[in-house]
Amino acid sequence: MVSKHKKEKSEKNLHNSVQQPDKKMNSFLESRFKHSEDVHDRKDIRTGWKFRIGITVSLILFLFTFAAGKDKLDRDLIKAVIAGDVDKVQKLLDRDADPDAMQEEGTTALMLAAKGAHKNICKILIENGAEVNTKNDEGRTALIYASMKGHKDTCDVLISKRAKVNLRDREGKTALMWAAIGGHRDLCKSLISEGADVNAQDNDGWTPLMAAADGGHNDVCDLLISEGADVDERDNDGQTALMKATMNGHDETSKLLRSRGAKR
């Protein structure tokens, strides 16, 4: 099945192929007449039904050929992004590759660059028109992917380019939640300074503090509480951060939570 993102991408390429090749098409049409003997003959051809059918077919073939060329450029761009090849990415963009080129499931070139911690490629893509807050079929943005991997420098670049810090994926998780799951304290601090909600809850009612406590990330727990996290918030199953730390045998985390006011 073709994903919604892939369908939108194909429609965009076809639209671009109609809008962009004006000069090429003019040259193409002129070449149709360059061997005609005189202006009178050309006029007769233009007014004939055979000419109109021929031009329609030729135009369709031209547009599909142009679109196919665009698709190859976009595939090459995706490969260059994954490889972290900054120079090649720039050259492909200069040749009119789509900065929002995507794979199946709607994962864009920018998301792939963010996953790979290719911050300079992120800059280039955004400066060439890539949409920074696009979501894929999982509801994830480039910032969420960078946060999942703990790539603070890449997150800083994305935020400087207006990435929204409180967008949620299909699980209801924000970038801060993913950073807390991974125990990335400095990234958590950076996201909070940019307005990330420390008490946001995902679809299961988990907060960033619960995620950090569940993983035994003491420094992240301490930071979140200092930034206003509710230590006694409960998830959809009625569990608190302290309960999660205790059930997973994180004694030091449990001790920390109690010292910061956790009562249950």
Question: Within 10 A of 18 (CB to CB), how many other CB atoms are there?
Answer: 14
Residues of the chain above pLDDT 90, percent: 72
pLDDT for 66: 44
- Looking at every residue in the chain, the average pLDDT score rounds to 85
Region 8-13 average pLDDT:
52
| Each residue's pLDDT tens digit, 108-121 | 999 999 999 999 99
DSSP 22: H
Looking from the CA of 198 toward its CB, the CA atoms found within 13 Å total: 21
More confident residue, 42 or 232: 232
Contact call for residues 42 and 36 (beta carbons, < 8 A) = yes
Return the sign of the alpha-carbon dihedral for residues 114, 118, 121, 126: positive
Region 224-250 average pLDDT:
98
Confidence of residue 17 (pLDDT cuts 50, 70, 90): very low
Question: Within 10 A of 163 (CB to CB), how many other CB atoms are there?
Answer: 24
For residue 238, pLDDT beyond 90: yes
Listed in sequence order, the residues at least 6 apart from 68 whose beta carbon sits closer than 8 Å to its beta carbon are: none
Region 241-252 average pLDDT:
98
* Two structure tokens written together for 104: 């199946």
Q: In angstroms, rounded to a whole number, what is the distance separating the alpha carbons of residues 33 and 161?
A: 50
Residue whose token pair is 């008490």: 199
| Each residue's pLDDT tens digit, 21-68 | 455 555 555 555 455 444 455 555 555 555 566 566 555 544 444 444
Listed in sequence order, the residues at least 6 apart from 142 whose beta carbon sits closer than 8 Å to its beta carbon are: 108, 110, 111, 113, 114, 122, 132, 134, 158, 163
Return the sign of the alpha-carbon dihedral for residues 132, 137, 143, 145: negative
Contact call for residues 99 and 125 (beta carbons, < 8 A) = yes
Region 218-230 average pLDDT:
98
Confidence of residue 74 (pLDDT cuts 50, 70, 90): very high
| Each residue's pLDDT tens digit, 164-202 | 999 999 999 999 999 999 999 999 999 999 999 999 999
Find how far residue 157's CA is from the centre of its chain: 14
Least reliable range by pLDDT among 11-25, 67-81, 159-173, 225-239: 11-25
Q: In angstroms, rounded to a whole number, what is the distance separating the alpha carbons of residues 25 and 150?
A: 48
Domains of the chain in sequence order: 1-164 (1.25.40.20), 168-264 (1.25.40.20)
**E strand spans, the chain:** none
Residues of the chain above pLDDT 70, percent: 73
| Each residue's pLDDT tens digit, 123-151 | 999 999 999 999 999 999 999 999 999 99
Confidence of residue 264 (pLDDT cuts 50, 70, 90): confident
pLDDT for 201: 98
pLDDT for 25: 52
pLDDT for 231: 97
For residue 246, pLDDT beyond 70: yes
160 φ, ψ to 5°? -65, -20
